[in-house]
Amino acid sequence: MPKQKDLKRLVRARMEKTGESYAAARLQLLEKKRPSPSDADHAALAGVSDETVREKTGRTWREWVRVLDAIDAASKPHREIAAHVHEAHGIPGWWAQTVTVGYERIRGLRDVGQRRGGGYELTKSKTLPVPLARLYRAFSSPAARRRWLPGDRVTVKKATPGKSMRLLWEDGTPVEVYFTAKGDLKSQVALQHRALATKEDAAGMKAFWAERLASLAEAVAPKPPKR
């Protein structure tokens, strides 16, 4: 108990000095007492290398942790953190989500593959040698979609042409899909399947989507010219 009282006293003193919230001041004091994690530790927890996150967002994981700790992000809901990363720092939707999830894992707010609310999720992406419009149509057109995703297994809830789609899977779980042009003849699809009940469900669906994206690649591949 005395140790807890001492900690509370130090937290309140820091709050008066810095203007931080109680949660932010407490977090900073606790961080000073534990060994500073290495950049490799951050990357391992986040699931994305430091080099990749720097290339895509302009910051390393250590820098993102410092930026997000400054707004007491650990006490905020996922959606609010992602919106801040996107709006205040100009990070595109998919990478705003990646930064947010990585930060939450580093701060111990979720396990790998787990959402803050307790459910599990997965992400998959694939870059294909086709224009963005063709890739988007493979998702937006029911006839084109059935070529690589047989059966009426999804319902389109919202679509922003050439950018994103929000789908509802047959079991009621949401699937968010993002499209990015990588040049005139190359584009990428990245999807996030959320609200899965268990880690095993997430692993099974990850294998399923890997297989389906491989079928997608075959379905949209340019046909060789006839001789």
pLDDT per residue over 70-90, tens digit each?
999 988 988 999 999 999 999
Mean pLDDT, rounded, for 122-143: 96
For the cut 60, the answer to whether the pLDDT of residue 36 exceeds it is no
- Kindly report, as residue ranges, where domains of CATH 3.30.530.20 are found in the chain: 120-220
Paired tokens of 197: 């009940």
Class of residue 198 by CB neighbours under 10 A (exposed 0-12, middle 13-18, buried 19+): exposed
Q: Which of 5-14, 28-37, 104-113, 189-198 has the lowest mean pLDDT?
A: 28-37
* DSSP codes of every residue in 62-127: HHHHHHHHTTTGGGS-HHHHHHHHHHHH---HHHHHHHHHHHHHHTTSS-TTB-TTS-EEEEEEEE
Q: Supply the DSSP string of 178-197, one letter for each residue.
A: EEEE-STT-EEEEEEEEEES
Report the SS3 class of residue 200. helix
Looking at CATH, the fold of the domain delimited by 120-220 is given as Alpha-D-Glucose-1,6-Bisphosphate; Chain A, domain 4 (3.30.530)
pLDDT band at 3 (very low <50, low <70, confident <90, very high): very low
What single-letter amino acid sits at 155?
T
Give the integer Cα–Cα distance in Å for 49 and 145. 33
